[in-house]
C-alpha cells in the first residue's frame, strides 16, 4: 500500500500523521485518504479539485507533474508527502 504522509505544518490543522491506502495514481490514493479524513481535502485541494497553489506533493521524491488532475502514476509502495510549498521570500 502507498503511504501518504502529512507535513508537520499540516498536522497542526489536521491531526493525522500518515495514511496507508491503495491506488494507481496520486488522485486515487488521495481520494482514499479523503474518504477517511474529509477535512483534509480542503487543505490540499482547491474548490476545483486542483492542488492548492501553495501546497507541494511529492511522490517517491518527485514533485507532482499533474497538479490539476493528479494523474501521476504510483506504485504499490510509493511514499507521498503532502507539504506546504515554499513561496515568497
Partner 1 sequence: MADTIHVSTRKGLVTARRQSGEWRIDPKIDFLGQPISLSLHDPRSGYSYACVNLGHFGQKLHRTRDGGATWEEIAPPAYPPQPEGVEDICPMRKTPIPWSLQMIWSLETGAEDGQLWCGTIPGGLFVSRDHGDSWQIVESLWNRPERKKWFGGGYDYPGIHSICVDPRNRRHLSVAVSCGGVWHSTDDGATWEGRAQGMRASYMPPDLADDPDTQDAHRMVRCPGQPDRLWVQHHNGIFRSDDNAMTWHDCPNGLPSTFGFAVAVHPRNPDRAWFAPAVRDEVRVPVDNRFVVSRTDDAGKTFQVLGSGLPEPPGLHLVYRHGLDVDDTGDVLAMGSTTGSLWISENGGDHWERLSAELAPIYSVRIC
Tell me which residues touch partner 1 (CB under 8 A): 9-10, 13, 39, 42-44, 46-48, 50, 52, 54-55, 84-85
Looking at the Cβ atoms of 52 and 79, the one nearer to partner 1 is 52
Nearer CB in complex with partner 1: 48/61: 48
Strand partners, 21: 2
Minimum CB–partner distance for residue 89 and partner 1 (Å)? 15
Identify which of residues 63 and 85 has a Cβ nearer to partner 1 in the complex: 85
What SS3 string covers the chain?
Answer: CEEEEECHHHHCCCCCCEEEECCCEHHHHHHHHHHHCHHHHHHHECCCCCECCCEEEEECCEECCCCCCCCCECCCCCEEEEEECCCCC
**In angstroms, what is the minimal distance from the CB of 49 to partner 1?**
8
- Nearest distance, CB of residue 51 and partner 1, angstroms: 11
Amino acid at each position: 500500500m502507498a503511504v501518504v504522509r502529512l507535513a508537520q505544518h499540516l498536522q497542526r490543522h489536521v491531526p493525522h500523521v500518515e495514511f496507508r491506502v491503495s491506488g494507481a495514481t496520486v488522485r486515487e490514493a488521495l481520494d482514499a485518504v479523503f474518504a477517511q479524513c474529509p477535512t483534509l481535502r480542503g487543505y490540499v485541494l482547491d474548490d476545483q479539485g486542483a492542488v492548492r497553489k501553495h501546497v507541494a506533493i511529492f511522490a517517491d521524491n518527485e514533485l507532482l507533474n499533474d497538479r490539476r488532475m493528479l494523474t501521476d502514476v504510483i506504485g504499490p509502495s510509493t511514499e507521498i508527502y503532502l507539504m506546504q510549498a515554499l513561496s515568497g521570500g
